[in-house]
Structure 1
Amino acid sequence: MYKHIYRRFLEANPTLLHFASHSHHYWPDATREAQLQYWDDSAKHVDHKWEFLFTQKVPVAQKLIAENLNLSNPSQIVFAPNTHEFVFRLISSLDWTKKISILTTDSEFYSFDRQANRLAEFAQFEVVKVPVMPFDTFHERFEQELASRSWNLVFLSHVFFNSALVSDFKRLSQKASPSSLFVVDGYHGFMAVPTDLKTVEDKIFYLAGSYKYAQGGEGACFLHVPSSARHRPFYTGWFAELAHLSAVGNQVPYPEDASQYSGSTMDLTPVYRLIATLETFKKEGLSVTKIHSWVQQNQKLFLEELEKKHHPLLNKRSLIVSDLNHHGHFLTFNLPSVEETQKMVAHLKNQGVLTDSRGTRLRFGFGLYHDKSQIEKCISLI
């Protein structure tokens, strides 16, 4: 039904059953024209390019993102090439002359987890990770840690990358101290799971980007900053002073909007692609709720067909799930060993089915370009 949006990617991979859309999503055709448009705009505006980009293009992207997250102030969104740049800028907003405590989980994406582990090597940093499993008690256990002290930084995912389990970050944010930086990694939830930030937009920092379900490719990440935030990250860049470059001296001023978290020179081609994708969805009448419903139908069909196989490894017993009606856009199966998992990934690849794994967890991702025939063929090859 929606394959026409992805004609170029599908034609480039005619025999591939792509079930890794949680990792590397196909891009809509409109992103190709958007990429070329960036070149044309650069040629047209030359020395005045940055003025054009930040007054004409960035506001469009901010508005489209805000619409999908129900944010009241699009200008409180800032862009960077990757979320890790934002993560370290957030950490550098804390007072490093004092002991810093970080509360997180054991299921955060590699970039944050690696950074947290590195910081934990220093005596002044304390990193506490709450296990996500068993998920039935996760929120209660996380709340207990939140109540145990005033944390400098609280960081957790909306949709956990290694399971697709969905956290109730709104509930948890209400339990956090007002002095804590409360950061939600929304990368595996943005444009997949319906997300309304209206009631917490003054409380949380929200990170996401276009590489996954926003389908614009790498390089267009963003951070929503609460309007009350007034920080001076020591990991800074010239974009944060973009409006006052002619007056630059020995002072280090910071703007009062989201651009206090701006970095430095970046290629905005990905932002053009992101705009093209989100505008395509609007044109097609594809709200996040509608996208989510389509994927849920395909996930249900996948599991129904899989059950008929009576597979010894891929079955209901190995499926990691809490509530399929409130779940991310990939299904995760926990296999007996890393070796078994890698063997299964290789077997599927040899059959023309692309999936991926994280440790012992095998992931099948679903997108708008999947239909009943592809799902049935995938199951037949397992």
Structure 2
Amino acid sequence: MSYKKHYSRYLAQHPNTLHCAPHSHHYWPDVTRDAQLQYWDDSARGVDHKWDIIFGERVPSVQQLLSKLLNHPYPEQFVFASNTHELLYRVITSFDPKQPLRVLSTDSEFHSFARQIKRLQERNNVELTTVPTEPYETFEQRWLAATEQGTFDLIFTSQVFYNSGVVAPDLSTWIDQVPAATQIVVDGYHGCGAIPTDLSPYANRIFYLAGAYKYLQAGEGCCFMAVPKGCQLRPEYTGWFADFANLAKPQTGTVSYANDGMRFAGATMDFSALYRLESVLLWWQRDALTVAAMHRYVQQLQSEFLVVLDELDHSQINRTHLLADNLDHHGHFLTFKLKNAEIVEELAGRLRAAGVETDYRGERLRFGFAMYHDAADYQRLKNALSRD
């Protein structure tokens, strides 16, 4: 079955391109265009009262849809922001800056965390323990050993690592040994909408971050966080949305917060991306297009892609350079680790000149897979790489 018809507008703009970078910039399905226009119409209809429409209708709708998508029992615990960094930093500012902050993480986190924690380490009271993800064969064992220390205020880890596509150890293998006072944040950006995810066992325990830019296919500007049920943290970095229901009341005394996920909300943002996200999730619901079904489709594409590479027998882009732990349980992109960044850049340039868009970070070349691909598309690689 081909799903290309759902992406006709984007594909029409790039008829001679095989877009193998959906893990970086995902094509938007056609339903998102009507949703964008609906945001304009709702803004015109509501004007000063458009927040009643957004918070009274659209936000609850997307909360419900995400709750179903992730099997999270508390829709009201989902809060939205323009980016995940904003939400992450609110969690961090819930800690007293005068007190020591002990953090456990890995060496494979996206810049939203990696850059921020590096800056915070310029304080003399922030201590970071970093577990290298490579070699992947022993990562789970080393990660479990680190979590057993039980001395951290914050644990931050990805669901799927952005620089490899490798899936992190399942929460069930380590969460029970973490003290209740330790806050746990899971970056689900490369897992949400790609890997079947069940948050029901952890809804009272973890912060789960994700957004619409990748596999939720709705573009930039709509990220979200599932906040643990009953969370009473008071982020110092806060905005007027965080107690929206009580804005009309006198703002005296101690700063108050909502008793649901909105306590981590910020301030005015462009909600058009929320409309686009709603349209994608409603399309999936109408067509009974589950994450599990999409994951199986992408796994088939990855298998076909690797068959083409085997036939090519390329000196660089081959299975020996593939970063993976278990391809049966892997993210929606494949990463090849080559000798140096210069080789990667040269190969990415050649592929782009042949109409194959990839994505690279240093010595790592990444190929992503999407519902707007067919297995036959990967035959184009033979033209792009056959000279080697």
TM bucket by the smaller chain? over 0.9
What is the CA–CA distance in structure 2 between the aligned matches of 1:203 and 1:283, rounded to whole Å?
A: 31
What is the CA–CA distance in structure 2 between the aligned matches of 1:146 and 1:12, rounded to whole Å?
A: 48
Q: Deviations over 1:165-190 (max 9, x none)?
A: 00124123223221111000000000
1:328 and 2:331 equivalent?
A: yes
Q: Deviations over 1:83-128 (max 9, x none)?
A: 0001110000112221110111000001110001111111010111
* SS of residue in 2 equivalent to 1:308: helix
CA displacement at 1:285 relative to structure 2 = 2.1
* Matched residue type, 2:362: G
1:294 and 2:297 equivalent?
A: yes
Aligned runs of 1:197-346 on 2, under 5 Å? 197-251=199-253, 252-346=255-349
Partner of 1:38: 39
What is the CA–CA distance in structure 2 between the aligned matches of 1:174 and 1:27, rounded to whole Å?
A: 39
Partner of 1:180: 182
Partner of 1:360: 363
Partner of 2:79: 78
- More off after superposition, 276-285 vs 66-75: 276-285
Residue pair 2:136, 2:324 contacting (<8 A) in 1 also:
no
Where do 5+ consecutive residues of structure 1 fail to align?
A: none
CA displacement at 1:282 relative to structure 2 = 1.7
What is the CA–CA distance in structure 2 between the aligned matches of 1:73 and 1:282, rounded to whole Å?
A: 19
What is the CA–CA distance in structure 2 between the aligned matches of 1:161 and 1:269, rounded to whole Å?
A: 26
Q: Deviations over 1:280-339 (max 9, x none)?
A: 112222100000000000000000110111111011110011111100000100000011
Q: Deviations over 1:2-46 (max 9, x none)?
A: 001100000011111100011000001010000000000011011
What is the CA–CA distance in structure 2 between the aligned matches of 1:372 and 1:92, rounded to whole Å?
A: 46
Partner of 2:191: 189
* SS of residue in 2 equivalent to 1:295: helix
Residues paired across the two proteins, number: 382
Q: Deviations over 1:224-257 (max 9, x none)?
A: 0111211110000000121111224233111111
CA displacement at 1:71 relative to structure 2 = 0.6
What is the CA–CA distance in structure 1 between the aligned matches of 2:189 and 2:163, rounded to whole Å?
A: 12
What is the CA–CA distance in structure 2 between the aligned matches of 1:217 and 1:81, rounded to whole Å?
A: 11
What is the CA–CA distance in structure 2 between the aligned matches of 1:306 and 1:177, rounded to whole Å?
A: 46
* Matched residue type, 2:149: S
Q: 1:217 to 1:266 in 2, by over 3 A?
A: same
* SS of residue in 1 equivalent to 2:129: strand
* SS of residue in 1 equivalent to 2:189: coil
Cα RMSD over matched residues?
Answer: 1.0
* Matched residue type, 1:294: Y
Q: Deviations over 1:178-212 (max 9, x none)?
A: 11110000000000011111111111110000000
What is the CA–CA distance in structure 2 between the aligned matches of 1:16 and 1:283, rounded to whole Å?
A: 29
Partner of 1:127: 128
What is the CA–CA distance in structure 2 between the aligned matches of 1:172 and 1:7, rounded to whole Å?
A: 44
Residue pair 1:302, 1:379 contacting (<8 A) in 2 also:
no
Where do 5+ consecutive residues of structure 2 fail to align?
A: none
Q: Deviations over 1:115-153 (max 9, x none)?
A: 011111110101111100111111221122222232111
Residue pair 1:139, 1:172 contacting (<8 A) in 2 also:
no
Residue pair 1:187, 1:212 contacting (<8 A) in 2 also:
yes
Partner of 1:141: 142
Residue pair 1:75, 1:258 contacting (<8 A) in 2 also:
yes
What is the CA–CA distance in structure 2 between the aligned matches of 1:217 and 1:47, rounded to whole Å?
A: 26
Output the TM-score relative to the length of structure 2.
0.97
Residue pair 2:74, 2:203 contacting (<8 A) in 1 also:
no
Partner of 1:91: 92
Partner of 1:11: 12
* SS of residue in 1 equivalent to 2:371: coil
Residue pair 1:155, 1:184 contacting (<8 A) in 2 also:
yes
Q: 1:379 to 1:261 in 2, by over 3 A?
A: farther
* Matched residue type, 1:302: F
Output the TM-score relative to the length of structure 1.
0.98
Runs of 4+ in 1 over 6 A off after TM superposition: none
1:350 and 2:356 equivalent?
A: no
1:102 and 2:103 equivalent?
A: yes
Partner of 1:20: 21
* Matched residue type, 2:104: L
* SS of residue in 2 equivalent to 1:36: helix
* SS of residue in 1 equivalent to 2:23: coil
What is the CA–CA distance in structure 2 between the aligned matches of 1:249 and 1:6, rounded to whole Å?
A: 48
What is the CA–CA distance in structure 2 between the aligned matches of 1:316 and 1:249, rounded to whole Å?
A: 61
What is the CA–CA distance in structure 2 between the aligned matches of 1:161 and 1:129, rounded to whole Å?
A: 16
